[in-house]
Amino acid sequence: MTDLVCGLMGFLSLTGRAGDRVEEVAAGMRCARHRGPDDAGTWNDDDVVFGFNRLSIIDIAHSHQPLRWGPPESPDRYALVFNGEIYNYLELREELAAEFGARFRTEGDGEAIVAGFHHWGKAAVSRLRGMFAFLIWDTELRVLFGARDPFGIKPLFTAVTPDGIAFSSEEKGLRELTGAAVVDEAALQHYLVLQYVPEPATMDVAIRRLESGTHFTLRPAPGAAVHPERYFHPTFVPSRVTGESERNALYRRIADVLDDSVKAHMRADVTVGSFLSGGIDSTAIAALAKRYNPDLLTFTTGFDREGFSEIDVAAESAAAIGVRHVVRKVSEAELTGALPLIVWYLDEPVADPALVPLYFVANEARKHVKVVLSGEGADELFGGYNIYREPASLAPMTRLPHQLRKGLAAVGRALPQGFRGKDMLRRGAIDLEQRYYGNARIFREEQLPGVLLTYSPDRSFRDVTDPIYARSLGSDPISRMQHVDLFTWLRGDILVKADKMTMANSLELRVPFLDPRVFDVARTVPPEHRVQGVATKVALRKAMELIVPPHVLNRKKLGFPVPIRHYLKEGSYDWARNIITSAQTEQYIDAAAVVKLLDDHRAGVADYSRPIWTVIVFQLWHEIFVTGSIKPEIPEPVYPVFL
C-alpha cells in the first residue's frame, strides 16, 4: 500500500494560464508540510497545477505524486493527487486487471483509483473502501474529477479566485491564493451554537468544503463552479430482531464485520499502533488489532486531576489484552501554551477541548509508530451517546397534547437557573427537530444576542439541520438523531480533530468503525438494541463480550476528558481574561459580556467553561488568520521516514 494519507493541492485555471500559479501552489504546500514531510512534488499543464506532500509508508521508490497513469495507448493520460488510504486496493487491482487488462507501474493504491475511474467512470468512487480526498485530471478530455470519502474522514477545501478554482487538504494553503481570512458571520453564529462550523461552510468566507460522500466534475471554462453530486446516502433501516437466535446472529454479524474492517485497516508495511482510552470503542479496536499485530503498541493520555484521566483504566485494558502501552500526561501549562499552535493546525475554530490531549498523545505516538487506529464513529453508528436516551426519558412529555406541553414549558421558564429539571421541561415541550442539533450545545439561540454583536434572528441551527431531518422522515427518533450526527457532529467535530491533530504530528490515523461494510450492518440494528434504559451501544457491547475486558464492557463513556472547568477558575483565569480582552474581535464579540461569564464561572454562579472556551478558540483563530497578530512558532517535522 502506498502512503497517501498526506496533503494535496490543486488549481484549475479558467484562463489557460495554470503555469502562473505554480509558485502559489508550492507555497501552499509548504504551509501543510506536516501532512507529508517525507517528499513533495508538483506537476502542471496549461489548465491544471497539482501539488503533493507525501508521508512515506511503503513503495517509497515508486508511487510518487502527482501520479501519472493511463491505458497502454495513452500511458500518461491522467494525473492524480490523492490523500487517504484505499483498503481494498489489491482486490480492485486484481478485478481491473482481470476484467479490462489494466496494467500498473507501482504497488500502490493510487493507481487503483485512477484505473477504476478510467474503466468505471464516477461509479468507481462507490467501490472504494477507505478514506480519501482526490483529484483526477484527464489530459485528453480536459476534465477535472474530484471526490471525498463517504463519512468525511479526509478533508478537501476549495476556493474560487479571479482566474480559477483551487483545492487543498488545508485551508492555510488556499490563503496563498485568497489572502487573509475574512469572517463568515453566518458561520460564526453557527459555531457559537454548535462549537464547529457545519459543512460546506468554513469560518473564512472565501473558502468552502467539498461535502463528505460527494464527487464533482469540472471543466475549465469561464464561470465554471463546483457542483457536488452525492453518491453516499446513509440511512438507518432497522431490521426486526426477535428471539435469541436472531439476537445472537446480529451480534455475530457485528463482531465479524468489525474484525474484517480492523484486518483491512492493518494493511501496512510500517508499524501500526492504536489509541486506547478507557471505553469500549478504542478497546475493541485495540483487542482486534492485537490479532494481526502481536506486538501492538497502544497510547493514551490524561491529566493529573481526579476524574479527568483514563490512564489507569487504559493501562488495565492494555494488560488484559496483552499489548504494550505508552502514556502521555498533559499539564495545565501545556494545555494553554499549545492552544495557539493547535488552532493554527486546525485552520478552523473547533471548540472541542479534547483536541488538546489528542494533539499530545498523537505527538507521543509518532515517536513510536507511523499509523494508529482509533475508535471514532462507533457512537454515531451504534448509538453510543447518552443524549440518545432522551427520546425515552422525554416520552411522558412529548406524548402530551401540544397546549399542555406549552404549559409545562412555561413552568420551566419560571424556575430559577440551575434548578434541577428546568432544562428537561424546556426540551420536553418542543419537537425533536427543534431540540436536537447535535452533541454540543454551547450557546442557546436566546443567549447569543448578549455575546454576538453580529447576531441575526434570521439565522438558526435549523438552517443546517432541517434539510437533514427531512431525509429521515418516518424513522424512529434515535435513528433520526444518529442521522443528524453523521452530517453534523461527526464530520464537523470528531473527524476534524482526528485528522488535524494526527496530521499535525505527521501521523496517519485510521478509523475502522467508519467503514461502509460496518455501516451496512450498523444501520440495521433495531433502536432497542442501540439504547435500552441507561445502556447505550447495547448490540455492540454484546458483540464484544468475548473481545473486550469485562471492566470496560459496560463502562460509561468519557473519551479524553479535559478539566477546563477547573482551570478557568484557577490557574488559567488570567490567561483566558487576557485573550478575551486583547483580541481584536470587537466587531463580533462583546468582550465585557464574556469577561462577566468568566467572572461568574470563577465565582461558582454556573459552569460557563464551554462557552468561554468556544469564544477563546474563535479569538485565537481570528488573531492568527485574520489580523496576524499571533504567529505561533511552527515546529519543523523531524520524524523518521521508516518506523
Task: Kindly tell me if the per-residue pLDDT of 26 is higher than 90.
Answer: no
Residues near 403 by beta carbon (within 8 Å), at least 6 away in sequence: none
Task: Kindly tell me if the per-residue pLDDT of 643 is higher than 80.
Answer: no
Which of 265-269, 319-323, 414-418 is predicted most confidently? Answer: 319-323
Q: Which residue did the predictor score with more confidence, 569 or 396?
A: 569
In the structure, what pLDDT confidence band is assigned to residue 336 with cuts at 50, 70 and 90?
very high
pLDDT digits (tens, 9 = 90+) for 28-49: 888 877 887 666 788 999 999 9
Task: Kindly tell me if the per-residue pLDDT of 62 is higher than 70.
Answer: no
Sign of the C-alpha dihedral, residues 263, 268, 269, 270? negative
Whole-number pLDDT of residue 301: 93
In the structure, what pLDDT confidence band is assigned to residue 632 with cuts at 50, 70 and 90?
very high
The C-alpha cell that represents 195 in the structure block: 462549537
Which of 34-38, 277-281, 420-424, 498-502 is predicted most confidently? Answer: 498-502
pLDDT digits (tens, 9 = 90+) for 574-605: 999 999 999 999 999 999 999 999 999 999 99
DSSP string, 133-188: EEEEEETTTTEEEEEE-SS--S--EEEEETTEEEEESSHHHHHHHH-S--B-HHHH
Contact by Cβ (8 Å): 280, 544: yes
CA distances to 117, 355, 369, 487 from 502, rounded to whole Å, are 29, 10, 12, 22
Contact by Cβ (8 Å): 567, 577: no
Task: Kindly tell me if the per-residue pLDDT of 641 is higher than 50.
Answer: no
Average pLDDT value for residue range 77-95:
95
3-state SS class at 581: helix
Out of 6, 32, 285, 286, pick the active-site residue: 6
Which of 41-45, 126-130, 433-437 is predicted most confidently? Answer: 126-130
Number of other residues whose CB lies within 10 A of the CB of residue 242? 8
Structural domain boundaries in the chain: 7-230, 243-384+487-553, 391-478, 564-625
Residue 307, annotated ligand binder?
no
Element (H, E) at 8: strand 7-13
DSSP string, 401-467: -HHHHHHHHHHHHHSPTT-TTHHHHHHHTS-HHHH-S-S---S-GGGGGGTBTT--TT--THHHHHH
Distance CA 238, CA 216 (A): 31
In the structure, what pLDDT confidence band is assigned to residue 2 with cuts at 50, 70 and 90?
very low
Contact by Cβ (8 Å): 122, 56: no
Count CA atoms closer than 13 A to 411's CA, side-chain side.
Answer: 12
Whole-number pLDDT of residue 557: 63
Give the 3-state secondary structure percentages of the chain, helix then strand then coil, rounded to 5. 45, 15, 40
Average pLDDT value for residue range 449-453:
96
Count CA atoms closer than 13 A to 25's CA, side-chain side.
Answer: 29
Task: Kindly tell me if the per-residue pLDDT of 429 is higher than 90.
Answer: no
DSSP string, 489-540: HIIIIIHHHHHHHHHTTT-EEE-TTS-HHHHHHHTTS-GGGTEETTEESHHH
Count CA atoms closer than 13 A to 451's CA, side-chain side.
Answer: 25
Closest among 442, 428, 423, 429 to 391, alpha carbons compared: 428
Task: Please name every residue paired with 510 in a beta bridge, in sequence order, or none if there are none.
Answer: 373
Contact by Cβ (8 Å): 11, 49: yes
CA distances to 32, 179, 273, 359, 363 from 7, rounded to whole Å, are 7, 20, 22, 18, 18
Closest among 332, 280, 324, 266 to 542, alpha carbons compared: 280
Q: Where are the beta strands (DSSP E) in 21-77?
A: 39-44, 48-54, 67-69
pLDDT digits (tens, 9 = 90+) for 457-492: 999 999 999 999 999 999 999 999 999 999 999 999
Closest among 131, 149, 36 to 87, alpha carbons compared: 131
Q: Treating both helix axes as pointing N-terminal to C-terminal, what angle do 591-603 and 609-625 enclose, rounded to 10 degrees?
A: 140
Closest among 156, 126, 168, 138 to 10, alpha carbons compared: 168
Asked whether the bond before 200 is cis by omega within 30 degrees of 0, the reply is yes
Task: Kindly tell me if the per-residue pLDDT of 58 is higher than 50.
Answer: no
Whole-number pLDDT of residue 558: 62
| Mean pLDDT over each residue of the chain, to the nearest integer | 92
Told to judge if 6 belongs to the known catalytic residues of this protein, a careful annotator would answer: yes
pLDDT digits (tens, 9 = 90+) for 603-614: 999 999 999 999
Residues near 552 by beta carbon (within 8 Å), at least 6 away in sequence: 278, 279, 280, 283, 313, 317
Residue 393, annotated ligand binder?
no
Distance CA 259, CA 371 (A): 18
Whole-number pLDDT of residue 38: 64
pLDDT digits (tens, 9 = 90+) for 252-264: 999 999 999 999 9
Whole-number pLDDT of residue 1: 39
Whole-number pLDDT of residue 270: 78
Closest among 531, 532, 530 to 521, alpha carbons compared: 530
Whole-number pLDDT of residue 247: 96
Q: Which residue did the predictor score with more confidence, 642 or 39?
A: 39
Distance CA 587, CA 286 (A): 48
Residue where the block lists cell 483545492: 167
Contact by Cβ (8 Å): 66, 43: yes
CATH of domain 7-230: 3.60.20.10
Q: Sheet containing 48-54: which strands, arranged edge to edge?
A: 39-44, 48-54, 7-13, 164-168, 157-161, 207-209
Task: Kindly tell me if the per-residue pLDDT of 629 is higher than 50.
Answer: yes
The C-alpha cell that represents 91 in the structure block: 482486490
Contact by Cβ (8 Å): 396, 373: no
CATH of domain 243-384+487-553: 3.40.50.620
Residue 374, annotated ligand binder?
yes
One-letter amino acid at 299 equals: F
Whole-number pLDDT of residue 3: 40
In the structure, what pLDDT confidence band is assigned to residue 309 with cuts at 50, 70 and 90?
confident
pLDDT digits (tens, 9 = 90+) for 64-73: 779 999 999 9
Distance CA 178, CA 443 (A): 31
The answer to whether the pTM exceeds 0.75 is yes
pLDDT digits (tens, 9 = 90+) for 535-581: 999 999 999 999 999 988 887 766 678 999 999 999 999 999 999 99
Number of other residues whose CB lies within 10 A of the CB of residue 46? 12
Which value, in Å, is the radius of gyration of the alpha carbons in the chain? 24
The C-alpha cell that represents 520 in the structure block: 451496512
Task: Please name every residue paired with 207 in a beta bridge, in sequence order, or none if there are none.
Answer: 159
Element (H, E) at 299: strand 297-303
Contact by Cβ (8 Å): 580, 591: yes
